[in-house]
Chain A
Amino acid sequence: MDDPLVIAGREFGSRLVMGTGGAANLSVLERALVAAGTELTTVAMRRMDAGGGTGVLELLRRLGIETLPNTAGCRTAAEAVLTARLAREALGTSWVKLEVVHDDRTLLPDPVELLDAAERLVDDGFVVLPYTNDDPVLARRLEDVGCATVMPLGSPIGTGLGIRNPHNIELIVARAGVPVILDAGVGTASDAALAMELGCSAVLLATAVTRAQDPELMARAMRSAVEAGRSARLAGRIPRRFWAHASSPDVDA
């Protein structure tokens, strides 16, 4: 595999992690996931209604995409730990996207509860991928307790506002010893490309694709953007200059 994304010793060929929320139906979701080329995709855990699940697990299995359960909807460390344990039991995976949000209006992570939950889940043998604020100190603390990645937000979930503080993302990347995955806030392809140019190892998104007018086409755009941004990062961009710098030889030469 050329330039794989490595999380907890496991290799992925795609650097685009997808969510499954917001799709109009499973067939729209399927086309989007295939177009995205994703190999790792999140699902939420909810009470089973009479008649069973929604079919999303079967879809991911059929497409050969690894399932990453999340703890969406949890407000406390205790809730998140229980939800992660239930997900492990239901899905047979010890990987978890850890989400502990403070309130419905911002859906911003609660840093105190998040760090507590991360520590408890790592101790319990989980591979923890935490959704976090774009705070370099918190990112460091999450890595220190043993998280397998850190996943800072670009902007709040579902806003499509892009990366509001690119410098913070660069600071997180500069000090991280684990993959940094930009999670939340991506609105369009240039946001995903920028995340990769800033040095993120991958991008996690859902709404930008599933609620686009043409989810399949947007998924393809995101795939290209992540690949382009990764290449640009590896290629090394030119320094920014204040004055022009001729790219043709001098006239007198």
Chain B
Amino acid sequence: MKAKINGTERELVDGATVAAVLALLGAPAAGVAVALDGEVVPRAAWPTTTVPEGGVVEVLTAVQGG
């Protein structure tokens, strides 16, 4: 199935979790946050939240700015 990860369309296995997407991106364990379809997914829910077909996932971190 397809999902949009940080603006790029990616092919994911059916039932892929947020935790699996983070592993795919090589995200560090700390300092990142995830929104799925415009809602924050709390860290504790990453292993149990599945990304739906056509889901929009945003993975954010802190950068220099402001």
List 19 interface pairs A-B (beta carbons < 8 Å), by A numbering: A19-B65, A22-B64, A29-B64, A44-B62, A44-B66, A45-B61, A45-B63, A46-B61, A47-B58, A48-B6, A69-B62, A85-B33, A86-B58, A86-B60, A88-B33, A89-B34, A89-B40, A90-B32, A90-B61
Cα of A19 to Cα of B65 in the assembled complex, Å: 6
Chain B positions within 8 Å of A, measured between CB atoms, are 6-7, 25-28, 31-35, 38, 40, 42-43, 58-66
Given A72-B65, A99-B66, decide whether A52 and B26 contact each other with a Cβ distance below 8 A: yes
> Is A50's CB within 8 Å of the partner chain B?
yes
Complex-state Cα separation, A53 to B27, whole angstroms: 9
Scoring B7, B26, B64 by chain A CB atoms within 10 A of each residue's CB, the highest score goes to: B64
A163 to B53, CA, bound (A): 51
- Partner of A54 from the list B43, B58, B59, B64 (CB cut-off 8 Å) is B64
Query: Which residue of chain A is the closest to B40 with respect to CB atoms?
Result: A85
A86 and B62 in contact (CB under 8 A), knowing A47-B7, A48-B6, A53-B31?
A: no
The residues of A that contact B60 with a CB separation of less than 8 Å are 45-48, 83, 86-87, 90
Give, as a whole number of angstroms, the nearest-CB distance from A85 to chain B: 5
A100 to chain B, nearest CB (A): 13
CA distance A192 to B60 in the complex (A): 33
The smallest C-beta distance from B42 to any residue of chain A, in angstroms, reads 7
Could you tell me the distance in whole angstroms from the C-beta of B21 to the nearest C-beta in chain A? Answer: 11
Choice from A43, A47, A91 contacting B66 with Cβ under 8 Å:
A43
In the complex, which residues of chain A have a beta carbon less than 8 angstroms from the beta carbon of B28? Answer: 52-53
Q: Is the beta-carbon distance between B66 and A90 smaller than 8 angstroms?
A: no
**Contact, CB under 8 Å: A21 / B40:** no
Residues of A within 8 A of B26 (CB): 50-52
Flag if A20 contacts B64 (CB, 8 Å). yes
11 more A-B residue pairs beyond the given contacts A53-B28, A86-B40, with a C-beta to C-beta distance below 8 A: A19-B65, A19-B66, A23-B64, A43-B65, A44-B63, A46-B63, A48-B32, A52-B26, A85-B33, A90-B60, A91-B62
The reply to whether the CB of A70 lies closer than 8 angstroms to some CB of chain B is yes
Give the nearest-CB partner of B65 in chain A: A44
Q: Evaluate whether A21 and B33 lie within 8 angstroms (CB atoms) in the complex, with A51-B26, A52-B26 already known.
A: no
Does B63 contact A42, Cβ atoms closer than 8 Å?
no
